Amino acid sequence: MGEEFNETYITLGGFEGMENYRYLYFTLLLTLCILSICSNAIIVYIIWEHQNLHEPMYIFIAALSINSLLVSINIYPKLLIDFLSEKQTVSYSVCLLQYFLYYCLGIVDLLLLAAMAFDRYVSICKPLVYPNIMTNRTVVVVLVFAWFMPASQLSVSTVLSAKQKVCHFVIKGFFCTNSIFKLHCVNSKVISVFGLVSCMFILGICPVFFVLFTYARILFIVYKSSNDVRQKAAETCLPHLLVLLCFTALGTYDVVFARFDDNFPKIVHLIMTLQVVLYNPLFNPIIYGFKMKEIFKHLKKLFGCT
């Protein structure tokens, strides 16, 4: 291994011992890749094409689908190549880029879920002022913030990591996550504190608590409302809660994995990696496609089911 940054290569240790099943995993992964890209593209097309879906809630869903497409582009191509390669290596610079995109897009997902929770709160609990609050300008500001803020915050930790000297060259996983910090010769307190305070707390924990608080308020208002209001709340809020639950579970695993990855059996890495490649790119369009009544109606028309 060279000491220069552009000559440093990292081995992805998650692929060890999987040579006999590489074509099976490649076929499965390629199928998931095609399904995820097609399903998210269809959701975006339906929302773009139909005027009655040009509302904040559906615009945020389209943004989630676009974000899922970006996640697919970040994860699937390298995984597909690695399953067919004799050696699974990646340059440290590319590893940093994958780390940056992985967490940046993940936080974008969380911020969009927070925006959708606020949209549902205003729609259900303050319907008379909804048009004045959720304007086109508000939606644009939220979308810009959701994509710009994570990128600006994570770029700092990525640049700081790029300046660290690398003494370890194996990541026990299938792609580059926050395990890259274990590659450094010396643990940087600056990176640790910045990541904990800025990325994890401000962009991670705060949005989760905001979503939970918002839905708690919705449930409190809905409990005292009519059956029609309860049905509307269930139809629009349940998909968001399901996505948030899966997102929180994967986020918890990611934090635990970064701390205790040496103690995890390889099968756990494989199962959780499959969940990562399933959740964002594939789970989101399935939930919103089948659980959102208006989108499902247009899906049936698109495929000639009505």
Q: What is the CA angle 151-153-159, rounded to 5? A: 90
Q: What is the CA angle 8-272-79, rounded to 5? A: 45
Buried b (16+ CB within 10 A) or exposed e, 258-267: eeebeeeeee
Q: What pLDDT is stored for residue 247 in this prediction?
A: 72
More confident residue, 144 or 14: 144
The DSSP 8-state label assigned to residue 165 in this structure reads P
What pTM did the predictor assign?
0.84
Give the position of tokens 């789970």: 283
Q: What pLDDT is stored for residue 22 in this prediction?
A: 82
- Would you place residue 3 in the very low, low, confident or very high pLDDT band (cuts 50, 70, 90)? very low
Sequence-ordered strand ranges (E) for 69-178: 89-91, 170-171
Contact (Cβ atoms closer than 8 angstroms) between residue 166 and residue 184: yes
- Single out the residue of 230, 245, 231 nearest to residue 287, CA to CA: 245
Length of the chain: 306
Question: pLDDT for 95-104, tens place per residue?
Answer: 999 989 988 8
* Whole-number Å distance between alpha carbons of 174 and 16: 10
Contact (Cβ atoms closer than 8 angstroms) between residue 211 and residue 244: yes
Q: How many CA atoms lie within 13 A of 283 on its CB side?
A: 19
* Whole-number Å distance between alpha carbons of 122 and 117: 9
Please list, in sequence order, all residues whose beta carbon lies within 8 angstroms of the beta carbon of residue 237, skipping any fewer than 6 positions away: 120, 124, 215, 218
> Where does residue 50 rank: exposed (0-12), middle (13-18), buried (19+ CB within 10 A)?
middle
Please list, in sequence order, all residues whose beta carbon lies within 8 angstroms of the beta carbon of residue 77, skipping any fewer than 6 positions away: none
Q: What is the mean pLDDT of residues 282-300?
A: 72
Contact (Cβ atoms closer than 8 angstroms) between residue 22 and residue 270: no
Contact (Cβ atoms closer than 8 angstroms) between residue 65 and residue 44: yes
More confident residue, 280 or 288: 288
Choice among 24-33, 208-217, 249-258 with the minimum mean pLDDT:
249-258
Indicate if the pLDDT at residue 1 is higher than 50: no
Q: What is the mean pLDDT of residues 252-271?
A: 61
Helices (H) and strands (E) in the chain, counts: 11, 3
Q: What percent of the chain has pLDDT over 90?
A: 7
Q: What pLDDT is stored for residue 124 in this prediction?
A: 81
- Would you place residue 197 in the very low, low, confident or very high pLDDT band (cuts 50, 70, 90)? low
* Whole-number Å distance between alpha carbons of 203 and 167: 30
Give the position of tokens 């995984």: 79
Q: What is the mean pLDDT of residues 36-56?
A: 88
Indicate if the pLDDT at residue 127 is higher than 50: yes
What amino acid is encoded at 47 in this protein?
Answer: I
